[in-house]
């Protein structure tokens, strides 16, 4: 009977690790499939545009070093005040958003067309550190399977440390 209890714990421990894998897959989908490809990257704390992947067809267009002042109806101060606010929530490729930037002390209103998926922005997202979480998960899962202590208390502590 004690053996059944141990097997039941093994199954629940495996389910815990698999649930962590599910969360990792969910966040990976968010990075690649849900987050909009807006054509540029900005630094959220100060609003500085770090890279422009697609050049706008209209002049003026966004340039590296510009500082975001307002995106659509939301200002950068609103963005900092409300953690739930997203500048580009619900935008679709081809939508035009009015982006106000500060360039060398002058505010410019730029109609920015959301380009949608583009290879350069995808490459920036793909060759990033998101995959490190999978390496840590795999090492923890292998440790859970291969280095399992016999004592149930030590086993729980071991799994808590590696999951």
In this structure, the answer to whether residues 134 and 80 fall within a common structural domain is no
Residue 118: asked if its preceding bond is cis (omega within 30°), the reply is: no
In this structure, the answer to whether residues 101 and 42 fall within a common structural domain is yes
In this structure, the answer to whether residues 133 and 102 fall within a common structural domain is no
Q: Which token pair is 23?
A: 């969360």
Cα 68 from Cα 75, distance rounded (Å): 8
In this structure, the answer to whether residues 45 and 30 fall within a common structural domain is no
In this structure, the answer to whether residues 48 and 101 fall within a common structural domain is yes
Domain count, the chain: 2
In this structure, the answer to whether residues 18 and 47 fall within a common structural domain is no
pLDDT digits (tens, 9 = 90+) for 20-70: 999 999 999 999 988 889 989 999 899 899 999 887 666 678 889 999 999
For the chain, how far is it from start to end, CA to CA, in angstroms? 28
In this structure, the answer to whether residues 31 and 70 fall within a common structural domain is no
The pLDDT value given to residue 20: 94
What is the pTM (predicted TM-score) of this model? 0.71
pLDDT digits (tens, 9 = 90+) for 75-113: 888 888 888 888 888 889 988 899 999 999 899 999 988
The pLDDT value given to residue 12: 79
Residue 107's domain comprises 38-115
């Amino acid at each position: 009977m004690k053996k059944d209890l141990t097997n039941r714990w093994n199954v629940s421990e495996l389910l815990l690790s698999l649930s962590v894998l599910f969360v990792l897959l969910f966040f990976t989908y968010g990075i690649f499939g849900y987050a909009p490809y807006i054509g540029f990257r900005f630094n959220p704390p100060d609003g500085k545009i770090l890279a422009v992947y697609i050049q706008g067809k209209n002049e003026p267009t966004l340039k590296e070093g510009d500082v975001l002042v307002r995106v659509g109806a939301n200002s950068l101060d609103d963005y900092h005040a409300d953690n739930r606010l997203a500048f580009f929530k619900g935008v679709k490729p081809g939508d035009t958003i009015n982006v106000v930037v500060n360039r060398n002390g002058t505010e410019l209103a730029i109609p920015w067309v959301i380009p949608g998926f583009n290879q350069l922005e995808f490459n920036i997202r793909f060759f990033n550190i998101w995959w490190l979480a999978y390496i840590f998960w795999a090492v923890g899962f292998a440790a859970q399977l291969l280095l399992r202590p016999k004592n149930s208390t030590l086993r729980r502590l071991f799994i808590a440390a590696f999951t």
